[in-house]
């Protein structure tokens, strides 16, 4: 997968504006990568369309590379899809009634295990919990829940295998109310495939317990069938969210995306193992990283996001355009860059930058530090008025002494700075004449 995304990246380097044409291939790669992560096809289609419409026409500015910009759209859109906030359980508003959580899902996905995990989770919040066993098709299913109940020290209500699930559920709730239990978790039977019997039974159980949450338990490995699965359960039963299990495996968990997009309901928890402790809240950010699986590239985008305050960058850009760029701006730009970590690390993370040697990077780092020291030895007036330095050797001599550099080094910086500014001015003029394509150097 990560190979796919890297390919998409390389195609974009050097581009100044995202267009339908130049993001076509990268989007194809992204589409393929999402399918590989088991995101359902209709969801992928919708997703790629959204990213495209957002990205096209975007100018690449603010120190972010075009490929970063596209990947940021992808990331934001993924986050958006999964819900940027963590989704808690519903707060039951009916006073004096217990919080009831109903589990639903196919057989073997981890419903019963999730009941135990959730029971432990709620207990840790200081709540009293009771579980109800309504899977009457196998005696082993009731035993399983009872054992889990013992493990987490939560009582299990059951009536053997001869009662009807809805009746067991109703009686279980009565019992919980009598005992003034805070939370009730209702385990149900699943089938290998969606069928009417299962849905009817679930509907009846739901009616009997009036849950505050109905959680669809989904195996993270569910592939393309996730979208019809989610659709059926949501249409027939109505869900308030989902638990994505078996995320401890090496699956990319594309089903997470499908659940949210198809049902509009969030993933509330993630199962990460067979133990009762192996339940986590759902962190959309982590899931995005997992689905993208881009390691370094994603880290780079995150760092860029943290460090580059947009207004600051915009202001800087404006000053460049107006040719007001002075040593203060230069310093600011430097600080923005260094707040992202040493230059060397930054450049190593850039795809295609592998050929830059350590020595070259050290040299670039050293140059930047030297420039900073020199600028810091300037008076405020000199920083605002770089021309003062071009015209007055005695100023350069003073700055050299103050910063511990030679006069030649100071002169070099001033010459470089002036050349850069002239270039900016030329470019601005060109753009004002409508000839310039952009910020190429």
Residues in touch with ligand GDP (CB under 6 A): 105, 107-113, 190, 217, 245-246, 248, 271-274, 278
The residue from 22, 40, 69, 112 that contacts Mg ion (CB under 5 A) is 112
CB of 147 to ligand GDP, least distance (A): 11
- Name every residue whose Cβ is closer than 8 Å to that of residue 432 and which is 6 or more positions away in sequence: none
Binding residues for Mg ion, how many (CB under 5 A)? 2
**Nearest-CA neighbor of 292 among 87, 69, 39, 53?**
39
CB of 271 to ligand GDP, least distance (A): 3
Nearer to Mg ion, 111 or 290 (CB): 111
Which partner from the list Mg ion, ligand GDP, none does 4 bind, CB cut-off 5 to 8 Å by kind? none
Nearer to ligand GDP, 109 or 183 (CB): 109
CB of 113 to ligand GDP, least distance (A): 3
In sequence order, which ranges of 293-379 are alpha helices (DSSP H)? 296-307, 310-321, 327-338, 343-349, 358-376
* Cα-trace Rg, the chain: 30
State the greatest distance between any 2 C-alpha atoms of the chain, in Å, as a whole number.
Answer: 100
**Nearest-CA neighbor of 42 among 257, 215, 243?**
257
Candidates 72-80, 104-112, 252-260, 433-441: pick the segment binding Mg ion (CB under 5 A).
Answer: 104-112
CB of 145 to ligand GDP, least distance (A): 8
Nearer to ligand GDP, 147 or 366 (CB): 147
In sequence order, which ranges of 83-159 are alpha helices (DSSP H)? 111-124, 139-152
Torsions phi, psi for 224 (to 5 deg)? -60, -25
Which partner from the list ligand GDP, Mg ion, none does 386 bind, CB cut-off 5 to 8 Å by kind? none
Distance CA 76, CA 64 (A): 15
Note whether 113 binds Mg ion by CB under 5 A. Answer: no
227-235's contacts with Cβ under 8 Å and 24+ in sequence apart are 227/40, 227/41, 227/42, 227/43, 227/258, 227/262, 228/194, 229/106, 229/194, 230/258, 230/259, 230/262, 230/263, 231/262, 231/263, 232/194, 232/199, 233/104, 233/105, 233/194, 233/263, 234/262, 234/263, 234/265
CB of 111 to Mg ion, least distance (A): 5
CB of 241 to ligand GDP, least distance (A): 16
Nearer to ligand GDP, 205 or 300 (CB): 205
- In the shown chain, the binding pattern of residues 62 to 101 toward Mg ion, with x for contact by CB under 5 A and - for none, equals ----------------------------------------
CB of 174 to ligand GDP, least distance (A): 24
In sequence order, which ranges of 13-110 are alpha helices (DSSP H)? 24-36, 41-55, 66-82
Candidates 7-15, 112-120, 351-359, 389-397: pick the segment binding Mg ion (CB under 5 A).
Answer: 112-120
In the complex, which residue's CB is closest to ligand GDP?
271
In the complex, which residue's CB is closest to Mg ion?
112
Yes or no: say if 322 and 374 are a contact pair by the CB < 8 Å rule: no
Binding site residues, Mg ion, CB under 5 A:
111-112
């Amino acid at each position: 997968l990560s190979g796919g995304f890297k390919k998409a990246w390389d195609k974009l380097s050097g581009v100044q504006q995202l267009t339908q044409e130049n993001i076509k291939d990268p989007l194809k790669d992204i589409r393929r990568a999402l399918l590989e992560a088991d995101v359902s096809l209709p969801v992928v289609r919708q997703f790629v369309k959204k990213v495209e419409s957002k990205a096209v026409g975007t100018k690449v500015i603010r120190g972010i590379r075009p490929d970063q910009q596209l990947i940021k759209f992808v990331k934001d859109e993924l986050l958006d899809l999964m819900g940027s906030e963590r989704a808690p359980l519903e707060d039951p508003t009916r006073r004096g009634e217990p919080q009831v959580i109903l589990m639903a899902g196919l057989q073997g996905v981890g419903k019963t295990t999730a009941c135990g995990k959730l029971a432990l989770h709620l207990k840790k919040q200081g709540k009293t919990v009771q579980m109800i066993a309504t899977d009457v098709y196998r005696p082993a299913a009731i035993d399983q829940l009872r054992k889990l109940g013992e493990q987490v020290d939560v009582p299990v209500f059951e009536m053997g295998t001869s009662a009807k699930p809805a009746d067991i559920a109703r009686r279980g709730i009565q019992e919980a109310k009598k005992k003034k239990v805070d939370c009730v978790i209702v385990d149900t039977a699943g089938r290998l495939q969606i069928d009417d019997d299962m849905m009817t039974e679930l509907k009846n159980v739901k009616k009997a317990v009036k849950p505050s949450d109905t959680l669809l338990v989904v195996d993270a490995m569910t592939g393309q069938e996730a979208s019809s699965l989610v659709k059926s359960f949501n249409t027939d039963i109505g869900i308030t969210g989902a638990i994505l299990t078996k995320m401890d495996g090496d699956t990319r968990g594309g089903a997470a995306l499908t659940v949210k997009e198809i049902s509009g309901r969030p993933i509330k928890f993630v199962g990460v193992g067979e133990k009762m402790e192996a339940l986590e809240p759902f962190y959309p950010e982590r899931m995005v990283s997992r689905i993208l699986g881009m390691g370094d590239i994603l880290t780079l985008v995150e760092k860029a996001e943290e460090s580059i305050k947009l207004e600051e960058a915009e202001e800087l850009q404006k000053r460049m355009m107006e040719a007001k760029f002075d040593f203060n701006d230069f310093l600011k730009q430097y600080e923005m860059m260094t707040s992202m970590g040493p230059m060397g690390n930054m450049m190593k993370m850039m795809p295609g930058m592998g050929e830059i040697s350590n020595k070259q990077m050290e040299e670039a780092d050293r140059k930047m530090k030297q420039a900073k020291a020199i600028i810091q030895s300037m008076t405020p007036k000199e920083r605002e008025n770089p021309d003062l330095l071009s015209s007055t050797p005695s100023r350069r001599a003073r700055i050299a002494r103050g910063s511990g550099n030679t006069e030649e080094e100071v002169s070099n910086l001033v010459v470089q700075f002036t050349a850069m500014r002239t270039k900016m001015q030329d470019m601005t003029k060109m753009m004002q004449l409508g000839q310039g394509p952009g910020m190429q150097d």
